Chain A
Amino acid sequence: MSDKIKFTIDDVEIEAEAGQTILQAADAAGVYIPRLCANKNLTPHGSCRVCTVKVNGRSQAACTQPVAPGINVESESEEIKAYRKSLVEMLFVEGNHYCMFCEKSGNCELQAVAYRLGIDAPKHEYLFPSRDVDASHPEIFIDRNRCILCGRCVRASKELDGKNVFQFVGRGIHKKVAVNSDAKLSDTELAGVDMAVSSCPVGAILRKRVGFAIPVGQRLYDAKPIGSDIEASRTDK
């Protein structure tokens, strides 16, 4: 029991295991911190910054920052919530995110986090980038219009599927997810069952011919907001 590390998130005392990140410890304690690039099965990436918290007054990504005894973590302050909201608002205009006819709507983490953060209308001017789709694979459809560059597919393909199908190329606004072939997705060894496919939080990598099979009302985030599953395990309520 002496291995437990105690710290606070928004003044609530949390017990963590040594080596856990703040995000892992918060999840275990039933405290939801919004995130997009983080996934419990993947190595932390720290790129989307949506899980930003203040640790003893300094901004850190909760998904990469290890817990330490006695730290004060600030997560749900107005200042932090405003930061997160701004980050997600920028993601929405950087790509072409048309929730109204996207088949991922209702099951999309970007959309769900936006609702959770209280974003109900676009704030910034759309950039309308010209992005491509790759429909060449018999089972998988890639729509880069909806990619948020979270890198989950890159990590899942490497760490879980052992294939390394996806990789980032380009810099800045020109950065995109490429596939490890000269031409198209069908030339890679990607399979429909790969974790790289199911790890996509948005509608960028989709299994073909699924579409709108799940009716409105039965989708993942129709009944409860994202993070509700984590909060359900909270013990100090």
Chain B
Amino acid sequence: MTANKITIEPVTRVEGHGKVTIHLDDNKQVTDAKLHIVEFRGFERFIQGRPFWEVPVTIQRLCGICPVSHHLAAAKAMDIIVGVDKLTPTAEKMRRLMHYGQMYQSHALHFFHLCSPDLLFGFDADVAIRNVVGVAAKYPELAVQGVMMRKYGQEIIKATAGKKIHGTGAIPGGINKNLSIAERDEFLKDLDQQMEWAKGALKIAKDYTVENIGLAKEFANFESSHLSLIREDGAMDLYHGNLRAIDKDGNKIFDQVDYQGYHNYIAEEVRDWSYMKFPFIKSIGNEDGWYRVGPLSRVNTADFIDTPMAEEARKEFMAVTDGKPNNLTLAYHWARMIELLHSAEKIKELLNDADLQGEDLVVKGHRREEGVGLIEAPRGTLFHHYKVNEDDQVTMCNLIVSTTSNNEPMNRAVASVAKKYLSGVEITEGLLNHVEVAIRAYDPCLSCATHALGRMPLEVSVIDDSGNVLDRKSTR
């Protein structure tokens, strides 16, 4: 009897370290496949005892990819802690600019540097060219655009947060600086070019999905619920809003829920084979209550987008599924590029707003003991929840990061692809890359997801019924 287990470790071109195991039976049929997150961190524990005003700067250290999201989610929670329910216009708009800069650079990084090799060369193209260096050699203009778009977003972060990575801009109750005229003019100078590149990236993602709709409908495809923040009028809002969850058909599971009470609607389950928790919608239960977050979910949950070009793109996107939620895993890329363009439009709107030069930066209120901050991070809804004692020290911290919410969906995607493409055939690197392509669509940040400290990469194993490892893919 042959026992078969394939391990892909590390999974590449994702943020963080994880591995995939694929179990095969005697007839080489895939019986199970799982994405394991093998990092362990512990930010929720070691932030305890620290003073609350330090948290937005300290907690963002759990990620070097989208620290702005953690910085802002923590700052929003600390706004509640210091008794501030409404920021000054300058503070809120500076934070929004920081966030759209972050969204812009993160989406550009993922599209151009992490996923474009799969889309441009094919999932099973020669691994020697299916990478960012291959993209730079064959499509030098795209590679340069990716770098320049990322730079633009990073410069916005620096101008609003003080540093490109791990800045200090958002403080409890406001922001510590405004945007100078000189800084504003520098960004306006390059904005039109950025907008053109964002439109170009959207076109590539859209055309790819439309031209490969057959593949998209069969690749890692499954129906799911979707969750995101939503503005009070139903518009997409990446910085602030209330919670909305919809089912696979678009019916609302809950809507306009004040996220201070998120724990009445969302719970988390621990499973013994991953350091990442499994969140679920309480009213549905832990078996079927899982949901997706991120660009696909946000475009699905939004009634509309309040910027013209992104709204036009959203309508085209929704038309593919006749206005119903789009459940195609590969459509994440298209949705992500809609958000990229939306972020560029929002950056333009904000740069032309004189409130950014305002001097009123911080509001003070009466201290509270508990605060929740939510934001739509590039990878999806990010939850930060803290309790603070009367001595100003954090006593409890709970984080549900975007990738954690996408844990079950990514596992479903991995299992679906493994069963479809790896059953009963000779396993090749190109076929194993299909598994990684499914994971990459979610743009997971595995470091964030386990709030972990440690080495980076991800790995895919093929295991048999007795647990023996048959094959393993790793770049280490």
A-B contact pairs, 18 of them (CB 8 A): A101-B54, A101-B58, A101-B166, A133-B393, A135-B51, A135-B393, A136-B391, A209-B53, A209-B82, A209-B392, A211-B53, A211-B171, A212-B57, A213-B176, A215-B162, A215-B168, A215-B176, A216-B162
Closest 6 CB pairs of A and B: A216-B162, A211-B53, A135-B391, A212-B168, A215-B177, A101-B58
Set of chain A residues within 8 Å of B49, measured between Cβ atoms: 133
A224 at the interface (CB under 8 A from B): no
B163 at the interface (CB under 8 A from A): yes
A217 at the interface (CB under 8 A from B): yes
Can you name 17 extra interface pairs (CB under 8 A) apart from A100-B166, A101-B166, A215-B177?
A: A101-B61, A103-B53, A133-B49, A135-B51, A135-B391, A135-B393, A211-B54, A212-B53, A212-B56, A212-B171, A212-B176, A214-B176, A215-B168, A215-B169, A215-B176, A216-B167, A218-B177
B172 at the interface (CB under 8 A from A): yes
Q: How far is the CB of A128 from chain B (nearest CB, A)?
A: 12
Interface residues in chain B, defined as those with a beta carbon under 8 Å from any beta carbon in chain A: 49, 51, 53-54, 56-58, 61, 82, 161-163, 166-169, 171-172, 176-177, 362, 391-393
B392 A101 Cβ-Cβ under 8 A: no
Q: How far is the CB of A113 from chain B (nearest CB, A)?
A: 22
CB contact under 8 A between A210 and B162, given known A101-B58, A135-B392, A215-B177: no
A208 at the interface (CB under 8 A from B): yes
CB contact under 8 A between A213 and B171, given known A133-B49, A136-B391, A141-B392: yes
Q: How far is the CA of A212 from the CA of B175 in the complex (A)?
A: 9
Main SS at interface, chain B: loop
Q: How far is the CB of A174 from chain B (nearest CB, A)?
A: 21
- Residues 119-145 of A at the B interface (beta carbon under 8 Å): 133, 135-136, 141
Nearest CB in chain A to that of B51: its residue: A141
CB contact under 8 A between A103 and B392, given known A212-B168, A215-B177, A216-B167: no
A103 B163 Cβ-Cβ under 8 A: no
Interface size class for chain A? 10 to 19
Q: How far is the CA of A103 from the CA of B162 in the complex (A)?
A: 14
Contact with B along A199-221 (1 / 0, CB 8 A): 00000000011111111111000
CB contact under 8 A between A101 and B51, given known A212-B171, A215-B176: no
Q: How far is the CB of A64 from chain B (nearest CB, A)?
A: 36
A211 B391 Cβ-Cβ under 8 A: no
Q: How far is the CA of A208 from the CA of B168 in the complex (A)?
A: 17
Q: How far is the CA of A16 from the CA of B163 in the complex (A)?
A: 44
A216 B163 Cβ-Cβ under 8 A: yes
Set of chain B residues within 8 Å of A101, measured between Cβ atoms: 54, 57-58, 61, 166
A103 B57 Cβ-Cβ under 8 A: yes
Set of chain A residues within 8 Å of B177, measured between Cβ atoms: 215, 218
Q: How far is the CA of A135 from the CA of B388 in the complex (A)?
A: 12
Q: How far is the CB of B30 from chain A (nearest CB, A)?
A: 44
Q: How far is the CA of A101 from the CA of B163 in the complex (A)?
A: 13
Set of chain A residues within 8 Å of B56, measured between Cβ atoms: 212
Residue from the set B57, B167, B169 with the largest chain A CB neighbour count within 10 Å: B57
A208 B162 Cβ-Cβ under 8 A: no
CB contact under 8 A between A216 and B61, given known A135-B391, A141-B51: no
Set of chain A residues within 8 Å of B61, measured between Cβ atoms: 100-101
Set of chain B residues within 8 Å of A135, measured between Cβ atoms: 51, 391-393
Q: How far is the CB of A132 from chain B (nearest CB, A)?
A: 9
- Residues 44-89 of A at the B interface (beta carbon under 8 Å): none
Set of chain A residues within 8 Å of B166, measured between Cβ atoms: 100-101
Q: How far is the CA of A137 from the CA of B171 in the complex (A)?
A: 22
Nearest CB in chain B to that of A103: its residue: B54
Q: How far is the CA of A137 from the CA of B264 in the complex (A)?
A: 35
Set of chain A residues within 8 Å of B392, measured between Cβ atoms: 135, 141, 208-209
B172 A211 Cβ-Cβ under 8 A: yes
Nearest CB in chain A to that of B173: its residue: A209
Q: How far is the CB of A137 from chain B (nearest CB, A)?
A: 8
Q: How far is the CA of A208 from the CA of B161 in the complex (A)?
A: 21
Set of chain A residues within 8 Å of B58, measured between Cβ atoms: 101
Set of chain B residues within 8 Å of A210, measured between Cβ atoms: 53
Q: How far is the CA of A103 from the CA of B392 in the complex (A)?
A: 15
Nearest CB in chain B to that of A217: its residue: B162
